[in-house]
Structure 1
Amino acid sequence: MEASTATPTPTRPPHPPAASPSPSPSSLRLWRSAALRNVRNQWSHLYAAKEQWVAAAADGRSPASELVNAHITRRDLPATDLGVLKDMPGILDKASSKLERREEQYRDMFLSCYKNMVRALCRLVKASHSMRCFSKVSPNGSVAQFSERQDDLNDSGDGGGAPVFKWFSILEFESLAQELVEIFVSDLKLKRLLVLELVSITFKEGEEHQTSLDWGDELYDGESNELQSFGLQSGETCPLSENWCGDILGSQRPGNHPSHEVLQVYLTAWLANVNIKMSRVDGIFELVEEEMNIKFS
């Protein structure tokens, strides 16, 4: 059951970086003006990335379902009563080849949706790490400039912990953004395991190449680098709990193919976004909208 829609007050990270020394009133005004624009922009990027994720997950429903349906039909062909077509030469081989091509088509569409989800999470992570606004010395020293890069080790880019809009400091905005990242990383772990299983069913039996995918395998070129950007790819071990991995992977390995019922469970798990508490996600954006006095949509 989804958690309550009540939105808790954001808390600072357990070990926040040391705050900058309190700036002078004039410096603080200049910093806040730059920080307002930057934080607003980064939260707009966070919202767009969240919407991209939701759309990609929804787009993956149809090809995943069609992939499973084509696979089940092809797998059950030998036992299917073909009626008056049973004596047609090569009918089973032709039907099987056509279904196999459909599986490959829907597999590629499904992987494309998954790839869009990974890209959305990369955008989410990048925005969450770009909240700070660092002072930058201008060439002539007469104009205050700001940057996302820390040039002065004594400047933490947080305005000495001052509020950016009304109440929230940079650290509190970062804490909320990190919570969003953790929510979507948690669901990507499960989504990726489901992708591995559903893509594996398209492999042919009896061929020399592998007949299933492991967690350490890339699903598309460059995937490992993108996963590493938010700390997900850590070798060849599935990062989910042993129960998750044992229940799902054990359903078909070694040498066993998932039953119709198991495949339906996979689809249900994908459709449900079971590791995302959307009420909390929506609550975070509502909290930030109220603080900034804007609407993202």
Structure 2
Amino acid sequence: MNTPPPSPTRELLRIVHPWALLACILTYSLGAGIAKYLGIAIHWQAYLAGQAAMLTLLLSSYFLREYFDRSPLSDPIRKPGDPPRLTRLNLLQISATTLTIGAVLTVLLLAGHALTLSGFLVLGLSFFLTLADAVPPLRLARSGYGELVLAFFLANLTPVLAFLLQAGELHRLLALITFPLTFLTLASLLALRLPAYAADLREERLNMLTRLGWQRGMNLHNLLILGGYFLLGSAALAGLPWALTWPGLLGLPIGLFQIFLITSIGNGARPRWKLLTVVAASTFALTIYFLNLALWSG
């Protein structure tokens, strides 16, 4: 019996990774929140244009990745009654459209003098990494480095651009907050990959977890969680105000529970994939949410 083709909505949601788009919105607001905490007035036009630019980069990367994942002969013949499906040409057209929108937004930011040289370099690096993640010959997403690229994009480049669009120059609070978040972001990405590990091996899909192996991947995951919160707590000694430190540490109990779930699976316990997925997303999202709350209300 043939499996019915997925609905257009389900196919679109699979391609665009809504959780990554939401993470981009959260980390972008973190960068602008640091600017507000430092007493800098928020320019909302620049804020929204920068946010839209980062989202279009992510969308371009995902549609291009899907385009190159499909064989030129993979577009099925549509039968009467079948729902419409995205063809390779559609994917390429959407990618070109999102890249064009991103270019227009960049020009608007430059014309409005919101984009300094530092901001332009960050945006340029973001553009390069998102393309390198999806487009040959690098295709980092299919070489085992895609999770590193996404963690760096979400936890570092996105909040840095948001801050630069408001402040114009870097500040040490950015490093004190975003560096620990890189560890937590990468840990969550590894945990979210684990349920599909067996299928990825069977279908020879190369990602960070299949490259490392499940045991080393689990150990790295646990170290990243502990390291991320240790760095966040230690940042108080380096000048991060305690009013910002303790809200970020509120996610630690969830992170420890995430380690418990991963360790239990490694010891042979019955996997609870749905619970692990919720906990992994919560560790990342709640840590950033509490930091945002402290920054925007401070």
Using the size of structure 1 for normalisation, the TM-score is 0.30
Q: Which has the higher helix share?
A: 2
Q: Which has the higher contact order (CA 8 A, sep 6+)?
A: 1
Using the size of structure 2 for normalisation, the TM-score is 0.30
Q: Which structure has the larger Rg?
A: 1
